[in-house]
Amino acid sequence: MPNLPIEDRFKISPFLVFYMITSMQIGIGVLGYQRLIAQYANEDAWISVLIAGSLIHIIVWMMYKIMETVDGDLVTAHIYVAGNFIGKLLSTFFVFYFFTYSLTILRSYLEVIQVWMFPTMSIFWFTLAYLLLCIYIIYGGFRTVVGIAFFGIVLPAYLFLIFGFNLKFANFEHLLPILDNSFKDILLGSYHMSLTFIGFEIVLFFYPFIKNPQKSKKWAHLAILTTTLLYTGLMMLTLSFFSEEQLRKSIWATLTMWKIVQMPFVERFEYIGIATWSLVILPNFCISLWVASRLLKRIFNLQQKKGVFLISITNLIVINFIDTREQVGLINDYTGKAGFIFTFLYIPLLLVMVLIVKKVKKK
| Mean pLDDT confidence for 79-83 | 94
Contact by Cβ (8 Å): 34, 254: yes
Nearest to 66 by CA among 269, 304, 350, 278: 350
Please state the separation of Cα 61 from the chain's center in Å.
18
What are 116-123's contacts with CB under 8 Å, separation 24+? Answer: 116/252, 116/255, 116/270, 116/271, 116/274, 117/271, 117/274, 123/319, 123/320, 123/323
Instruction: Report the domain count for the chain.
Output: 1
pLDDT of residue 194: 86
- 6 inside domain: no
Under the banding of pLDDT at 50, 70 and 90, the label for residue 362 is confident
> What does the pLDDT look like over 277-297, one tens digit per residue?
999 999 999 999 999 999 999
Residue 149: half-sphere exposure toward Cβ, Cα within 13 Å: 29
What is the domain extent for residue 33?
14-353
In a domain, 4, yes or no: no
Is residue 256 a part of any domain in this protein?
yes
Q: Report pLDDT digits (tens) over 123-170.
A: 999 999 999 999 999 999 999 999 999 999 999 999 988 999 999 999
In the chain, the N- to C-terminal Cα span, in Å, equals 20
- The answer to whether position 358 is within a domain reads no
Give the CB-side neighbour count of residue 203, counting CA atoms within 13 A.
34
Q: Kindly give, in sequence order, each residue whose CB lies less than 8 Å from that of residue 171, ignoring residues fewer than 6 positions away.
A: 240, 241
Q: Is 25 exposed, middle or buried (0-12, 13-18, 19+ CB in 10 A)?
A: buried
What pTM was estimated for this model as a whole?
A: 0.94
CA atoms of 333 and 176, how far apart (whole Å): 30
6: Cα separation from own chain's centroid: 25
Residues 182-213 have pLDDT tens digits of 999 999 999 999 888 999 999 999 999 999 99
pLDDT at residue 3 is higher than 60: no
Whether 263 is in a domain gets the answer yes
Beta-carbon count within 10 A of 314 CB: 13
CA nearest to 118, candidates 283, 271, 310, 335: 271
Asked whether the predicted pLDDT for residue 215 surpasses 70, the reply is yes
Per-residue pLDDT tens digits for 329-355: 999 999 999 999 999 999 999 999 999
Over 50: is that where the pLDDT of 1 sits? no
How far apart (Å, rounded) are the C-alpha atoms in residues 249 and 239? 13
Domain CATH number, residue 43: 1.20.1740.10
Percent of the chain, pLDDT > 90? Answer: 85
Look at residue 265 and tell me if it is in a domain: yes
Question: Burial code of 253-285, b = ≥16 C-beta within 10 A, e = fewer?
Answer: bbbbbbeebeeeeeeebbeebbeebbbbbbbbb
Is residue 67 within 8 Å of residue 77, measured between CB atoms?
yes
Distance CA 243, CA 67 (A): 46
Q: Is residue 276 part of a domain?
A: yes
Phi, psi for residue 266 in degrees, rounded to 5: -145, 135
Instruction: Kindly state whether residue 3 falls inside one of the protein's structural domains.
Output: no
Q: What is the pLDDT of residues 228-268, one digit of tens each?
A: 999 999 999 999 999 988 998 889 999 999 998 888 888 88
Q: Give the angle 210-215-220 at the CA atoms, nearest 5°.
A: 80
pLDDT at residue 2 greater than cutoff 80: no
| pLDDT digits 0-9 by tens, 296-339 | 999 999 999 999 999 999 999 999 999 888 999 999 999 999 99
pLDDT at 64: 97
pLDDT confidence tier of residue 8, bands split at 50, 70 and 90: confident
